Structure 1
Amino acid sequence: MDLNIKEIQKLAQEYGCLNEITAENPNKIFVKAILQRKVLDYVRGFSHELHNLIESQKITRGPLTLESDIVSKASELLKLINFFSVTRAGTDEVTDASMIKIRQQVYGILGNRGFNNIIDDDGNMRMHDFIALVSNELNKMMNHYRKINDPNRKEQVDSMAPKLVQDIYKLFWFRINVQEPKTECELFENNMINPNLMKGSWNEDEIDKLRVDICYFPLVGRNLNSSDAKIFTLAKVFPRYISDSNEPNEEKDE
């Protein structure tokens, strides 16, 4: 595999990273972390493309848009129930409970089967069109930063994209809405290393000398900013040493 060092350096700069990447010392573990963050941001950002395609009527509503349609209708129903609860006299526990249950059941279904293969009218199965689109664009984007010379290896790596894209959408679009209260995600930037919230590679006796250089998977949990926070998944981070000469003037620690 050949790395496009210049483009990766630009990407690292975009993320504000200070760890060095050079042709002589490509720092492959760090590069892997940067590219993982880029993949996550790229796929999550591409979710807006489906909405744009629907709004511009470039695609016809049907099997391709079912996930988006279900989310839209569920959101509309929840808004109506909430409006009903504040514009009709009376008190009950059923109304509030129904809003939670509807959200949990709808997003639970989508989290299990959303963006899975489509079953056509003739009974044949095919990859979801949107997953195929995003996977293809993701592979093209990644080829901008690295070149896999072995054709068999390239085919193997490219074939992993659809499952990766599905997993990202199922987690960040659907499953985060199943829990009550809703699951939260947080990406750290320039924070001091906190082993209670993050995982990575460092020596315990050097933690007070380290900051987050890049966070390539978010902290996932509930009530993250409260004293009774529940952590489901620690953030994955790549650290850097603190240097007085390159620290920003304003602290970003929370």
Structure 2
Amino acid sequence: MEEVKKLLLLYKCPTKITNQKGDRLLIQAVLQRHIMETIFSYATKYFQSTGQHYHLESDIINKAHSLSTLLTNASKHRTGNDEVTNIALTKLRQQIYLILNNHGFTDIFEDNAIYEHPFIAYHKKQLNKITNELRIIKDDNEKIASENLAANIIRKVVKIFWFSLKIQEPIVQYVWIPYNAKMDKTFMEGTNFDDSDDIENLYVDLCYFPLTGKDLTSNNRKIYTPAKVFIRKDQY
């Protein structure tokens, strides 16, 4: 429980946990936020590395960026139809990330053997170690099932935020809603309030899934998925 309280402080959440059962929703929310940001850090480090056989996904993205830069330079420094180039650049990006979304971080087939992608195999152990420090599961079967989910969770999160969002045109953005932001049902969803609550007095305690969409800083923003937030009924 003390580790969970430290996480709440890390995300500037002022609400205090008094008991595990009564504060279950908040505990689940902060664990989800921490798991997602941990996976983000794994992926960020991975995509900064290249050259090994298990860096194929990173190599593809790096080569795609290089090709995109070359094509952009061709459009700038050679005569021709720029519209054709712009359309080609968009389609190229979409197709590359579509392929990555399909094949990225799946099991590897090599030398007549199939084995788990090293990125997944290593980081699922790291993620399970972190989550086991933050929660206690007494039932052995439930613990095994929870640990087996780690690989799928890592793969799904990376595919969404590194591949799927970049298939869209324009590329879909994401942002974490800061604590103490005023609740706005047009782009936020909460699990610990209902329609009878006065929205004028609702504020974000913790965002546990980011807002995704296009032009998020403008009045013409288009929401892809609303942010998931844990709210409170007063402002700090």
TM-score normalised by the chain length of structure 2: 0.93
Give deviations 1:115-136, integer Å, cap 9, x for gaps: 11111221x3221110111111
CA RMSD between the two structures: 1.6
Evaluate the alpha carbon distance shift between residue 92 and residue 86 of structure 1 in structure 2; reply closer, same or farther with a 3 A threshold: closer
Give deviations 1:72-114, integer Å, cap 9, x for gaps: 1001100111111111133332111111011000011111221
* Residue of 74, 82, 93 corresponding to 2:83: 93
2:110 maps to 1:120: yes
In structure 2, the residue matched to 1:30 is 26
Once residues 48 and 92 of structure 1 are traced to their aligned partners in structure 2, the CA distance between those partners, rounded to angstroms, is 33
| Aligned-partner SS, 2:198 | helix
Per-residue deviation, 1:51: 4.2
Given that residues 18 and 240 in structure 1 are in contact (C-alpha distance below 8 angstroms), is that contact kept between their aligned partners in structure 2? Answer: no
Once residues 110 and 183 of structure 1 are traced to their aligned partners in structure 2, the CA distance between those partners, rounded to angstroms, is 16
* Residue of 188, 192, 213 corresponding to 2:205: 213
* Residue of 131, 152, 166 corresponding to 2:141: 152
2:52 maps to 1:61: yes
In structure 2, the residue matched to 1:178 is 167
Once residues 19 and 2 of structure 2 are traced to their aligned partners in structure 1, the CA distance between those partners, rounded to angstroms, is 9
Moved over 3 A (4+): 23-26
Identity %: 36
2:225 maps to 1:233: yes
Which residue type is aligned with residue 236 of structure 1?
K
Which residue type is aligned with residue 135 of structure 1?
K
Corresponding residue pairs, total? 233
Per-residue deviation, 1:224: 2.0
| Aligned-partner SS, 1:82 | helix
Once residues 227 and 108 of structure 1 are traced to their aligned partners in structure 2, the CA distance between those partners, rounded to angstroms, is 29
Once residues 170 and 106 of structure 1 are traced to their aligned partners in structure 2, the CA distance between those partners, rounded to angstroms, is 13
| Aligned-partner SS, 2:82 | coil
Once residues 22 and 129 of structure 2 are traced to their aligned partners in structure 1, the CA distance between those partners, rounded to angstroms, is 22
In structure 2, the residue matched to 1:129 is 118
Once residues 110 and 227 of structure 1 are traced to their aligned partners in structure 2, the CA distance between those partners, rounded to angstroms, is 32
| Aligned-partner SS, 2:70 | helix
| Aligned-partner SS, 1:144 | helix
Given that residues 75 and 82 in structure 2 are in contact (C-alpha distance below 8 angstroms), is that contact kept between their aligned partners in structure 1? Answer: no
The 5 Å alignment of 1:138-149 reads: 138-149=127-138
2:41 maps to 1:45: yes
Given that residues 186 and 218 in structure 1 are in contact (C-alpha distance below 8 angstroms), is that contact kept between their aligned partners in structure 2? Answer: yes
Give deviations 1:193-218, integer Å, cap 9, x for gaps: 01110111313342111111110001
Once residues 37 and 20 of structure 2 are traced to their aligned partners in structure 1, the CA distance between those partners, rounded to angstroms, is 28
TM-score normalised by the chain length of structure 1: 0.87
In structure 2, the residue matched to 1:194 is 184
Evaluate the alpha carbon distance shift between residue 148 and residue 24 of structure 1 in structure 2; reply closer, same or farther with a 3 A threshold: closer
Point out where structure 2 has 5 or more consecutive residues left out of the alignment. none
